[in-house]
Structure formats: C-alpha cells, structure tokens
Amino acid sequence: MTNKSTNINLSRRKLLAGLGAVGVASAGAGLGTTAYFSDTETFQDNSLTAGTLDLLVDWQQTYDYGDGREFVNAHPDHDGDGEQSVEIDGDEVKYSDFPDLEDDDSNGANIPELNCENIPPLSEANYGIDPVTEEPMDSLMQFSDLKPGDSGEITFSLHLCDNPGYIWMQGELTSEDGDVSTDPELAVDSDNLPDLADAIQATLWYDEDCDNVYDPAEPVDIMLTLDFSGSMLYRTFGGVVSEDDITVGATTYDETTKIDLVELGTRQFIDYLQAQNSDVKVGVAYFDGDNEMGSPRVGLLQELTADLNDVDAALSGLRRKLANVVNGSTNDPDVLEGSDDPDSPGGIATGTYIGEGVDVAQGELASTRARSGVAKTNIVLSDGESFEGDGGSSFSSPTGAADDARAGSPSPATDVYTINVNGSASTLQAMAGPAGGLGGDPTFFNDVDDPLNIPSVFGNLAAQAVGEKVIMKDTLGNVLAELSSGNGIPLDGNRATIYEELNESADDPDREAFRGDGVMHCVALEWEIPFDDVGNEIQGDTLGFDLGFYTEQERHNDGAGMA
C-alpha cells in the first residue's frame, strides 16, 4: 500500500490551566521529475510529474464565559481581531458576513470563499488573547481561568487540494495535573486528582454549514431541479466525463456521464434522508430547451411527496428520461423513445431554460402538496449558462426566477442552492441565496470543476437537510481517547453514504474519500463545563492535549490507513 500523506499536527504545550494547546504545521507531499529520451529518433520535452496531496485548514474559535459567544482566534485573520477575515481582490471578507438568518445562535460562518489559492500559510496564524485574562495566547486553545458554565467551540474547515484523499482527525491527551490544592477542592477531592478531562463535556460533529453552531433536524420541503439538456449526456456536447464504467442502482454503463453522476448523487441524497427518518417532502423538476412547438421543455419528474421510494423511482434511469425529453417526439420523460446512447444524440433542442425550471419548482413548493409553516429548499443543478433557444419560446431570466423564489413570489420564500458543473458559474452563483435574502451568497453556491464530485456535493446538501451528524458526544477525555486510537477517527467525505465513524472500519465501502478540488468540509468541536455536575474538584486542574488531521491519497489506498 502506498501512503502519500499530509499531517497537520498540533504542538504539545502544557497549560497553566485550561483546555488545550494548538500549534499547527502543514506539509504538502509531492515530487516532480522530468525525463528526456533520445537516440537516433528524438522525443523531446517529455516529463513526468507526480501528483500532490495538500491539506489546508482554516478555523474560527469562539468562547462563552457568561456574556455570549466571543471571537477568540481564527485563521486567516488579517487584522488580528479574533474574527476570521481575509482580503480578496482588495475587499475585506469576514466571518460575520455569512450568518444563518434562520438561526438566532449563528453569528457568521467560516468564509466560503477560502480555497487552496487564498488560504495563507499556518505560520501566519494569530492566536489572539484570552478574553478573560487578556493574556496573549501562543496556541489555539489556551484558556487559564475556566469556570463551571464556560463553553467554547471551534470549527475547522478542511480543504483537500489536488488529489482525492482519506482524512482522519487525530488527538492525544498530553498532560493532566491536579495542580495546586485549595481547601475547597480538598474538601471534595482529597487526593487532588486531575478531573478536568472528565469534567468537560464535548461534542464532535460535521458542521455542514460551517457556522460554529450545531443544527438539529427540522421539517423541510425540497425540490431538486435538474438540467436535462443534451450536454449532460451526449459526448458531442461534453456529456461524457470518463471512459470508466459506472454502476447506478442495478445498472452498469460502459462510460460515465454527467447525468449518471447526478443520478448517483440524488439517489444517495434520498437514501440518506430515508436512513435519517427525515421529516421531508421531496419533488423533482427538470429543464431543457425548446420543443418543436416553441415551448420550453420543462416539467415535473416527481410531485412533492413524503414517499421517498417514489422519489427514488423517479430518479432511476435518468439517462433514458433525459433522452426522452431531449430527442423524443413527445418530450415526455416517461415515454421511452429517445436514444440514451452517449454517442447517438439524435435531434437536440436549443437553449437551456434554467429560469423556467426554477419557476416549475417554485410552483410545486407553492402548491397544495407543500406543507404550510415548513422551510422550503430548491436545489438547482446545471452544467452551463442559461440561454434562449431558436424555437421562439418565452424565456424567463434565471436570476429573476431565483429572486422571485427567494422572495416568495409565489409564496413561500425559498432557500435556493445552486450547483454549477464545470460550466459558466456567474448565473448560478447570482441565483444562490437564502429565503428572504439576496442572491450571490457563496454559502448557497457549489462550484464543481470536476463532475466526478457531483455525488459529494449532494452528500453535503443531504447532511444540511437533516440534523447535522454528531460523530461523538462524551467527555473530552473520552473524545481524546478515540482521537488517539490507531490513526484517529476516520472522517467521511460524503455523508450521504451511511458510515459510522466509531463503529465501522476505516476501509468500509461506505466511507468515501474527500474529493481533491478544495471543496470546504467543516468539522466542529464544542466543549462545556456543566453548571450542575462540576464544582470545586476542578479548581487549579490543568489539561494539555494535541489535535490534528492526517490525510493519505485515495489512489492505491483502501482507506484503512497506516498499519
């Protein structure tokens, strides 16, 4: 087994008193070589370049010592005020620019525009000051006056650059001491044992919206609005993305197309919602271009329903259903007449009517099949810019349609998430935003350079549609014990594939690698010293621990990690 890996480790530092210490160092693994072969025939400028594997981490940490959550430190933090911030193209972008408008506890989110190009090196990290003692901190967590009732949280954003890889979170308890003996402590802890690790309650979870707040499950009605244009299937128009075969459900195809990846991702999306017993209704809309009668080829593949088996059936066989819309004489996805051979496109309609597709989805969310008083979401996927065909159809502006949906015209107001699949991102990014809010919100926009990452994006969105997944909830001591066992806790790059991090092996088929395109994944650690259960026994106790992340390339590895 080949282990090309990156470690992000936290330095071991003993604290005077408090939680833990972090000093982070990142190292990318890569090798470059060139070769020149010649004899009487010359082959010039040949080169072999090994791939790279680089894990970048940014974070935001908050601390509540009685006055609400306050910023402690972040990376990057270009002005050193404890709030994550960065200058991009001359403009300041900061954590508080991205609050969850539907969550009163949210005061922002890790900056979604951070990526492999603009995250500064960790050597530039600023650890700020302890907000209670106002003493400088030379490590990530270095609090020296903890009291019962105190709590804190840190959300790490992981960006795996270049190649796909498996990621583990690691940690280790490095020091623990009862320290000074006070009369109140000796009255309840005569041996002055170190109690802090067992006194602190900790929760480790996937923070899908990266806002440093755990989001429980809430009921939601969801529309999936899918691009059924020829470029999603046919080779001539860029629909074939790989010559590798792909199995979707019970069907195996000889090559992989964009619509196959959409089917795989959306059906995993539905499987995850079913497995979580989610309180959801789901429907499916589609859009293409003009039909022969001069009308947009748009419609409902599935009305809103709580029967997710019906939705799964509607999403099965998307090759054929797309082909029926694109080049069938009736343009009906249920009439089996179109060619689904990627090399035989037949007659192709012109135009891509994203706006009309959004209108159809919004109409369904406003119908009697939708539930009143329930959040509404529309997930729109396309691989190109919206444009008007030559068949004379009435053409709706996609940004205008999305503006209306977010504003609730027709009612209700809808969260609009968009997925751009290696197309022109400007329109889809302008459409994305929260219900009642503006478009152009990067937290609602997913830019997919490599179509192979489509299932992972749907996995992330599925995890946002239900309660965020808790990896472990226990004492900090027990969480650190799990993080220090073996290679640490194996993380799942696609939460829609049902994987139990603590109970299943790291090489379980349902654990997926993180795709190597810099997409942000967030893991959060929250801690609290309970009021009711903890008292004088922790006085003066100290605790030191390491945290870290380890990654190894997906290729030639099975996810089992180092032996």
The region of weakest confidence among 170-174, 192-196, 464-468, 556-560 is 192-196
Nearest by Cα to 492 from 476, 505, 483: 505
What distance lies between CA 451 and its chain's CA centroid? 16
Please say if the pLDDT value at position 191 is more than 80.
no
* pLDDT mean over 117-127: 85
- Position 346 scores a pLDDT of 75
Structure tokens at 482: 């799990």
* pLDDT mean over 42-70: 71
* pLDDT mean over 169-180: 74
- Position 247 scores a pLDDT of 94
Residue in this structure with the two tokens 């623990």, named with its chain if needed: 176
- Position 293 scores a pLDDT of 64
Query: Residue 493: beta bridge partners?
Result: none
Please work out, in degrees rounded to the nearest 5, the angle formed at the alpha carbon of residue 417 by the alpha carbons of 409 and 312: 100
- Residue 376: its H or E element: strand 375-382
Indicate the pLDDT class of residue 539, thresholds 50, 70 and 90.
Answer: low
- Position 549 scores a pLDDT of 87
Please say if the pLDDT value at position 18 is more than 60.
no
Between the alpha carbon of residue 409 and those of residues 286, 302, 368, 396, 402, the distances in Å are 20, 22, 15, 14, 10
Indicate the pLDDT class of residue 183, thresholds 50, 70 and 90.
Answer: very low
Q: pLDDT tens digits, residue range 275-317?
A: 888 999 999 999 998 766 667 889 999 999 999 999 999 999 9
The region of weakest confidence among 52-56, 128-132, 517-521 is 52-56
Between residues 31 and 163, which one has the greater pLDDT? 163
Separation between Cα atoms, residue 292 and residue 415, nearest integer Å: 33
User: What domains, with CATH codes, occur in the chain?
Assistant: 54-215+468-553 (no CATH), 227-465 (3.40.50.410)
- Answer for the pair 439, 399: CB distance below 8 angstroms, yes or no: yes
Q: pLDDT tens digits, residue range 451-497?
A: 999 999 999 899 888 889 999 999 999 999 999 999 999 999 998 88
Tell me if residue 479 falls in helix, strand or coil.
helix
Between the alpha carbon of residue 498 and those of residues 245, 267, 296, 494, 504, the distances in Å are 23, 13, 38, 9, 10
- The one-letter amino acid code at 150 reads D
* pLDDT mean over 324-339: 77
Separation between Cα atoms, residue 181 and residue 539, nearest integer Å: 8
Separation between Cα atoms, residue 63 and residue 71, nearest integer Å: 7
- Position 407 scores a pLDDT of 97
What distance lies between CA 110 and its chain's CA centroid? 12
Dihedral in degrees, nearest 10, Cα atoms 257, 461, 528, 200: -30
Alpha helix stretches (DSSP H) within 384-537: 398-407, 425-431, 454-465, 476-484
Please say if the pLDDT value at position 44 is more than 50.
no
* pLDDT mean over 150-172: 89
